[in-house]
Chain A
Amino acid sequence: MAVRIIEKKIEDILSMMRNPAQVRNAGTLAHVDHGKTTTTDSLLMGAGLLSPKVAGKALAMDYVEIEQLRQMTVKAANISLYFEYEGKPYIINFVDTPGHVDFTGHVTRSLRVMDGALVVVDAVEGVMTQTETVVRQAMEEMVRPVLFINKIDRLIKELRLSPNEIQQRIIDIVKDFNNLIDMYADPAFKDKWKVDPAKGQVALGSALHKWGVTIPQAAKAGLKFSNIVDAYEKNYVDELAQEFPLYKAILNMIVEHVPPPNVAQKYRIPKIWRGDINSPLGKALLEADPDGPTVIAVSKMNKDPHAGLIATGRVFSGTIREGDEVYLINAKTTKRVLQTYLYMGPNRIVIPEVPAGNIVALLGVDDARAGETIVASSIKDVAAPFERMKYISEPVVTVAIEPKNPNDLAKLVEGLKELTIEDPTLSLKIDEETGQVLLSGVGTLHLEIATWLLKERTKLEFTVSQPLVRFREAVRTSSPTFEGKSPNKHNKLYISVEPLDDETIRLIQLGEVTDDQDPRERAKILREKAGWDADEARGIWAVDEQYINVFVDRTTGIQYLREVRDYIVQGFRWSVQAGPLAQEPVRGLKVILHDAVVHEDPAHRGPAQIMPATKNAIMAGILAAKPTLLEPVLSIEAKTTQENIGSVIGVLNRHRGRVLDMVQSESMVTIKGEIPVIESFTLSDELRSATAGRVFWSLQFARWAPVPENMLIDMIMKIRERKGLPKEIPKVEDFVSQY
């Protein structure tokens, strides 16, 4: 199989890029195995690759082998397609979105740079958990969806549905899908963004067999469901694909229904950008003004073996050129752009400039990470970043990685660092004392993929430990106030702790309440949305966004307190990294400082005094506030047949799972429930054997839940033992000295 190469002059390509009406930025979103890769492949094959024409030189090849291409697409951050619609040429950028559930952090970053999403749904399985997750994320990022119902062939060949039943199935899926839009879309777009098959906003087909069609197309050509069934039964699917190629149906849908970048930015910018939209910069962003100040949102960092780190992102305003001096807002550094590239298919080609509304690849901004905002250095003092990336998943599973040959350690760590650059939902920790290399991810599969990639790239031999689950420590009630003394006894902090309310936790998790926020603005949000007392909210000294904890100062007029504020905050951040029960991070804690005695002499109130004083009081507080462990819990959605319901529920029950909901549709039953991560490692094998393989399911991170009371001590002891901690759980007296 080979792909057509379309040659165009660089000037022609540039002139298309300068006209937003001829540009679309989209991406494919899907539940795992619903056919994202095959869909993208068939678009590539159908639409062909754009290639710059070099005058007077014959092109080395006219076609690229699909296998070769697939290898490239695995690593590509973006694929640009050339498509002619009603005689007019378009550049359609397909931003890479990762296929697996565990990479949902990736999905969010990819969404930022696209205006439209092609949501792929398996006709048999219908709308699944991850479909819901990705649609919700798309709605949060104001990305307009269109729907592709894939694997229609399965309805015919496996389920043997009649044309009428197929039609009913499609109506049902569209209804489920629109329910999601109704649930998650911004009120202003709820009705506008629901997909309507009659308007050509839904395509049906089979990516495997490369055909696809929208209802208006079918109506125009007189194609009926019975014809499609016939094509399969009488073996003329190839002709169907000839007449109704999938890429045309989909790219038509995208050109017609995904807005051009300048139109989309008008409503997306106010939602996804944190700055003032009435400022000159705000206006340039709203208009996608190619002459405005340069602003780029980075969606992905890749390492090119030859060139180095490549940042892929979208130019939201201005025009980026080779040699431009740019400022990285999150990394707080100034860099020079060494080269600007345009994606042509999965390849990058050097191009002198890339105007607003397009996807660009940049060389020279090594310090950027996915989620970075890059701006022209001339506006570094006035530019606000794009809203913080909102990660729904958290790294909760950890493995230890050890090279078989100790000499390979440095290479291994380097390979891992690269992975964490590309995927910030992975986190790497190297124990300074033991040299142990720990990699954390959102799930076991996430880590399996990461270690597989590591092996592919480094070709090193290494062992991966059994996955360990990360826990959190939390309190269930308010503590009394404790006196935390500094080691020299000259400084005393009076501190109590209590649980944060759920709404505050949510606001921090969503990035609406942040550490670097204007205190008055933060107080206002907390007062209005989470019912905080106004004075208390204004007293917030620190918000720990990583583990979700807050430090509040409720003192007044304490001498020298201002001088030690930073040390107290450092002590707070240090304390919540490892709680007293099992040295797991603390989550959902509100620490309140009520009073303090601070020594007048700076020599007696350094960080080595104040940090332990803070920690002592916080630890005592936690221990006195009914502490517990929180474990990560997954939500599971399993589809099975009527007769296997009992077996599935049985497996869940054996693993402390619980069933939340059961929905019957046709012959299938969907069981929705929850199961703790720690119980999920053998789930695949058990579910398959219990149902003789007649079940498919998906898992994703749901929430942190307290471990059952009767297992608490046992679990704490297991973690302490694993970490080599003393058997005795610390007591309040260990932190509040008796003098």
Chain B
Amino acid sequence: MRVCSLFSGGKDSTYALHWAVLKGFDVACLLTLKPQRVDSWMFHYPNIEWTKYQADALGIPQVMYVTNGIKDLELEDLKNALIDIKKEFGIYGIVTGALLSDYQRMMINIVAKEVDLKVYSPLWRKNQVNYLVDLYNHGFRFVLTSISTMGIDPRLLGKVLTISDINDLINSALKYGFNPALEGGEGETFVVDAPLFKKEVVIEDGEVRRIDQYSWVYIIKSVSLRQKYSNKFDNKGIQR
């Protein structure tokens, strides 16, 4: 089936894409929405510009739409984008990375239904506690690009997380009562490597910015792509 993957560059949308490809979906394009407003209700903001490098690394065409980021209008923007893409790429469904949030899932479902597209949210209701560890074990590498909660050490920002960083993060999630998969907007990620990446994304330069005691962002300033030398996954089995 030909689908479009909603893609923000973060771990969840990358993982959903991974799932879709392994399930044999034909992923025709990545749809990335770029909000003008900072506190987007639905879509990732920081570093959204740099997703085009990820799309390059994946070798999948990317379509970027600007949305105004206002709660209800944002959905209207999504709807318009989907109508366009459906026409252009001839897709039957969309794949999303929504994990736990009923809100995200329902909103996307409503819009998709209106434009007659099927929705696949493979991560929804997945085991939240082990999720980050699973990602790591599957070869996903990501940096933390924002913090919006009590309990995450800002020193993790901009760093490619190691398994011990991830364990620390999960422990503080349990201690401070935030979602161990960061699905409540506690932190955003930017994927630098994944099994489907043909190249590795290298963040050359970036800056940590404090918004308040519990809100921090990492602004990526320059990025390059590097050839992967030891890729244990080959991409032969992937149909396009």
Contacts and interface: CB of A to CB of B under 8 A. Distances in A.
Interface of A: 486-490, 599-601, 603-609, 611-612, 616, 734-735, 737, 739
Contacts of B38: 489, 739
Given A487-B215, A488-B149, A607 B103 contact: no
A295 B115 CA distance: 71
A27 to B, nearest CB: 46
Nearest to B214: A487
Interface string B95-136: 000001111100000000000000000000000000000000
B167 interface: no
B149 A608 contact: yes
Nearest to B103: A601
Given A488-B148, A739-B38, A603 B214 contact: no
A608 B39 contact: no
Contacts of A606: 149, 177-179, 184
7 contacts: A490-B185, A600-B103, A601-B101, A603-B184, A604-B185, A609-B186, A734-B213
B89 interface: no
A607 B177 contact: yes
A487 B212 CA distance: 8
Contacts of A737: 211-212, 215
A599 B185 CA distance: 12
Contacts of B177: 606-608
Interchain residue pairs A-B with the least CB separation, the first 9: A608-B178, A487-B148, A488-B185, A601-B103, A607-B177, A603-B184, A488-B148, A487-B214, A489-B39
Interface in B165-195: 176-179, 183-186
B240 to A, nearest CB: 34
Contacts of B102: 601
Most A C-beta atoms less than 10 A away, residue of B38, B103, B176, B212: B212
B225 to A, nearest CB: 31
Nearest to A609: B149
Nearest to A570: B177
Contacts of A611: 150
Q: Which of A606, A611, A737 has the most CB of B within 10 A?
A: A606
Contact of A739 (B39, B41, B103, B176): B39
Contacts of A616: 212-213
Interface in B139-179: 147-151, 176-179
Given A487-B186, A487-B214, A604 B101 contact: yes
Nearest to B175: A608
B212 A734 contact: yes
Interface string B37-52: 0110100000000000
A608 B185 CA distance: 11
A613 to B, nearest CB: 9
Contacts of A599: 103
Nearest to B39: A489
A603 B100 contact: yes
Given A488-B149, A489-B148, A606-B179, A612 B214 contact: yes
A736 to B, nearest CB: 8
Contacts of A490: 39, 41, 185
The A interface is mostly helix, strand or loop, or mixed, namely loop
Contacts of B147: 487
Contacts of B214: 487, 612
Contacts of B41: 490
A599 B71 CA distance: 12
Contacts of A601: 101-104, 184
Given A604-B184, A739-B211, A487 B39 contact: no
Is chain B's binding surface mostly helix, strand, loop or mixed?
loop
B212 A603 contact: no
Contacts of B212: 487, 616, 734-735, 737
A488 B104 CA distance: 15
A432 to B, nearest CB: 12
A737 B212 CA distance: 7
Pick from B147, B148, B211 the residue with the most CB of A within 10 Å.
Answer: B148
B176 A608 contact: yes
Contact of B178 (A489, A609, A734, A739): A609
B103 A608 contact: no
Given A488-B185, A488-B186, A616-B212, A603 B148 contact: no
Given A488-B148, A612-B213, A735-B212, A603 B183 contact: yes
Given A490-B39, A606-B149, 13 more contacts: A487-B149, A487-B150, A488-B184, A488-B185, A490-B41, A603-B183, A606-B179, A607-B176, A608-B149, A608-B151, A609-B149, A609-B184, A611-B150
A600 B212 CA distance: 24
Interface in B35-85: 38-39, 41
Contacts of A609: 148-149, 178, 184, 186
Which of B102, B150, B213, B215 gathers the greatest number of chain A CB atoms within 10 Å? B150
A17 to B, nearest CB: 52
A290 B41 CA distance: 67
Interface string B196-229: 0000000000000001111100000000000000
Nearest to B152: A608
A294 to B, nearest CB: 41
Q: Which of A486, A601, A603, A605 has the most CB of B within 10 A?
A: A603
A347 to B, nearest CB: 49
Contacts of B178: 606-609
B150 A612 contact: yes
A563 to B, nearest CB: 13
Nearest to B173: A608
Nearest to A490: B185
A577 B55 CA distance: 49
A608 B100 CA distance: 17
Looking at A487, A616, A737, the one whose CB has the most chain B CB atoms below 10 A away is A487
Contacts of B213: 612, 616, 734-735
B195 to A, nearest CB: 27
B156 to A, nearest CB: 15
A630 to B, nearest CB: 25
A737 to B, nearest CB: 5
A34 to B, nearest CB: 52
B146 to A, nearest CB: 9
A612 B186 CA distance: 12
A186 B104 CA distance: 65
A603 B179 contact: yes
A622 to B, nearest CB: 15
B41 to A, nearest CB: 7
Contacts of B39: 489-490, 739
Contacts of A739: 38-39, 211
A601 B100 CA distance: 9
Contacts of B184: 488, 601, 603-606, 608-609
B124 to A, nearest CB: 12
Nearest to B177: A607
Given A490-B39, A737-B211, A737-B212, A608 B101 contact: no
A488 B184 CA distance: 8
B187 to A, nearest CB: 10
A486 B214 CA distance: 9
Contacts of B176: 607-608
A251 to B, nearest CB: 59
A489 B188 CA distance: 14
Nearest to A603: B184
